[in-house]
Amino acid sequence: MSKPLKDCVVAVIGGGPAGLMAAEVIATGGVRVTVFDRMPSLGRKFLLAGRGGLNITHSEDAAQFLGRYGAAEAKLAPAIASFGPTTLRAWCEGLGQTTFVGTSGRVFPQSMKTSPLLRAWLRRLAGDGVAVKLRHRFVGREDGALRFETPDGAVRIEADAVVLALGGASWPHLGSDGDWVAHLKAQGIGVETLRAANSGLLVAWSEIFKKRFAGTPLKRIALSYGTATVRGEAIVTASGIEGGAVYALGRYVRGALDAAEPFTIDIDLKPDQTLEDIAGKLAKPRAKRTLKEHLRRELNLGPAAIGLVQEVLASSAGGTPDAERLARLIKHLPIVVTGATPIARAISTAGGIRLDEIDDAYMLTKMPGVFVAGEMLDWEAPTGGYLLQACFSTGAAAGRGVLDWLSRGSRLRAAPRDRSPTEGETR
């Protein structure tokens, strides 16, 4: 006879938003939960996300919101419908953190910080009986037990179900380094290669441009590659360009990045103006004005935008172009990209456990009793609240999946042993 839910124990491995949300849902369902994390404290990357203002979700309409998840939209849609932006905002307010919608449509807590929200959340979880084990590094399963390495040595933990919320591979010093990939692949789970997402692009700026404009914003621009165009803002860095518009273009340029060859993106410095309008303004007599003064006065271009134009002109022959050619340059400024910033410095990662490896309850079909949430899964989204929203939503979905699975009398079975490598194969 199966033991009652109140006597079941669930292990949640990973103390970020996805894992903590799964733990909350499971605990409020009357099941004992322990959260394990390899770091000395919980939510370290969550805290980093709020360093410049915690963008918790977005207020745009549901269809547009879901479209931000690209190929993963259909799989994520039910989870986001069940725990979407409105629910997430109400959840924040239940923790005493009122939210507001910014001018961009992004949603922030009134404090703009993660720490008050996280502190209130951890207090509530403790009140719900959620236990926490820190400095526990998950190393796999063996004979039905979960194995961890701790400062005091190896430990084995038995649980009736487990939620994996170990994150991707960005900002590894905060706890998620992707070392779970080898373990799951050894169990026959399909995992797409983890790659940098929402990362900056590398550009070989001249020393003069780099010195003058590193750290300077490019506002109200559009970036294009092939047929894809993204509007937004960016920041010039010493090594290239980053920011919201750059991150949103990432999924479209990934193939070019994988080819490891330089490629070109176009920057439209005036997306709200037509080529003809710009050419007409630039055709006005310059008198004694320099090109820089002419661009600033007629087009209201910022310093970094003008610097970009001059940077491209300096690398091309033919002297100062006429008004029409200069207008084309402003609408289609070619920037040669040489690569992307490393995955360790990316905001998030693409790749992960293939979505066809989990059922609608976020359980691995090949490992009954093991549920997955958050960035371990193969989905990606731009910045703007979409990343955190999907982590919260999939965490809640995995938590509901655990409760349903346990309520049907199911319990975690022994894990299959890692298969031995065949001749000529290494692990």
Instruction: For residues 296 and 304, give the distance between their C-alpha atoms in angstroms, rounded to a whole number.
Output: 11
- Model confidence over 328-361: pLDDT tens digits? 999 999 999 999 999 998 999 999 999 999 999 9
Instruction: Kindly report the CATH number assigned to the domain that includes residue 388.
Output: 3.50.50.60
Instruction: Check whether residue 209 and residue 262 sit in a common domain.
Output: yes
Maximum CA extent, the chain: 92
Q: Please report whether residue 376 resides in a domain.
A: yes
Domain end: 296, 312, 340, which one? 340
Full domain range(s) for residue 327: 201-340
Sheet with 131-133, side-by-side order of all strands:
131-133, 32-36, 9-13, 161-164, 370-372
Q: Please report whether residue 424 resides in a domain.
A: no
Helix (H) or strand (E) holding 158: strand 153-158
Instruction: For residues 153 and 50, give the distance between their C-alpha atoms in angstroms, rounded to a whole number.
Output: 34
Instruction: For residues 243 and 116, give the distance between their C-alpha atoms in angstroms, rounded to a whole number.
Output: 26
Q: Please report whether residue 419 resides in a domain.
A: no
Instruction: Check whether residue 116 and residue 129 sit in a common domain.
Output: yes
Q: Please report whether residue 418 resides in a domain.
A: no
Closest CA to 145 of 413, 420, 418, 419: 413
Instruction: For residues 78 and 84, give the distance between their C-alpha atoms in angstroms, rounded to a whole number.
Output: 9
What is the domain count for the chain? 2
**DSSP designation for 4:** P
Please list the residues that pair with 133 across neighbouring strands: 36
- Rg (C-alpha) for the chain, rounded Å, is 25
Q: Please report whether residue 19 resides in a domain.
A: yes
**C-alpha dihedral sign at 118, 54, 384, 237:** negative
For 330, phi then psi, to 5°, come to: -70, -35
Instruction: For residues 191 and 184, give the distance between their C-alpha atoms in angstroms, rounded to a whole number.
Output: 8
Q: Please report whether residue 329 resides in a domain.
A: yes
Q: Number of C-alpha atoms within 13 angstroms, CB side, residue 143?
A: 1
Instruction: Check whether residue 262 and residue 279 sit in a common domain.
Output: yes
For 112, phi then psi, to 5°, come to: 65, 5
Instruction: Check whether residue 297 and residue 363 sit in a common domain.
Output: no
pLDDT at 189: 97
Please list the residues that pair with 402 across neighbouring strands: none
pLDDT at 80: 98
pLDDT at 162: 98
For 265, phi then psi, to 5°, come to: -110, 160
The token pair that represents 33 in the structure block: 């939960």
Q: Are 26 and 10 in contact, with CB atoms under 8 Å apart?
A: yes
Instruction: Check whether residue 218 and residue 262 sit in a common domain.
Output: yes
Instruction: Check whether residue 29 and residue 146 sit in a common domain.
Output: yes
pLDDT at 229: 96
**pTM tops 0.95, yes or no:** no
Instruction: Check whether residue 376 and residue 336 sit in a common domain.
Output: no
Instruction: Check whether residue 223 and residue 75 sit in a common domain.
Output: no
**Torsional class of 57: left (φ above 0), alpha (ψ -120 to 50), beta (otherwise):** beta
Instruction: Check whether residue 106 and residue 146 sit in a common domain.
Output: yes
pLDDT at 418: 43
Instruction: Locate all alpha helices (DSSP H) within 152-225, ordered by sequence.
Output: 180-186, 207-213
Q: What is the pLDDT along the chain (427 residues), one digit of tens a residue?
A: 567 888 899 999 999 999 999 999 999 999 999 999 999 999 999 999 888 899 999 999 999 999 999 999 999 999 999 999 999 999 999 999 999 999 999 999 999 999 999 999 999 999 999 999 999 999 998 888 999 999 999 999 999 999 999 999 999 999 999 999 999 999 999 999 999 999 999 999 999 999 999 999 999 999 999 999 999 999 999 999 999 999 999 889 988 998 889 999 999 999 999 999 999 999 998 888 888 899 999 999 999 999 999 999 988 766 678 889 899 999 999 999 999 999 998 999 999 999 999 999 999 999 999 999 999 999 999 999 999 999 999 999 999 999 999 999 898 875 554 433 333 332 2
Length of the chain, in residues: 427
pLDDT at 2: 67
Q: Please report whether residue 47 resides in a domain.
A: yes
Q: Please report whether residue 416 resides in a domain.
A: no
What is the end-to-end Cα distance of the chain in Å, rounded? 40
Instruction: Check whether residue 78 and residue 162 sit in a common domain.
Output: yes
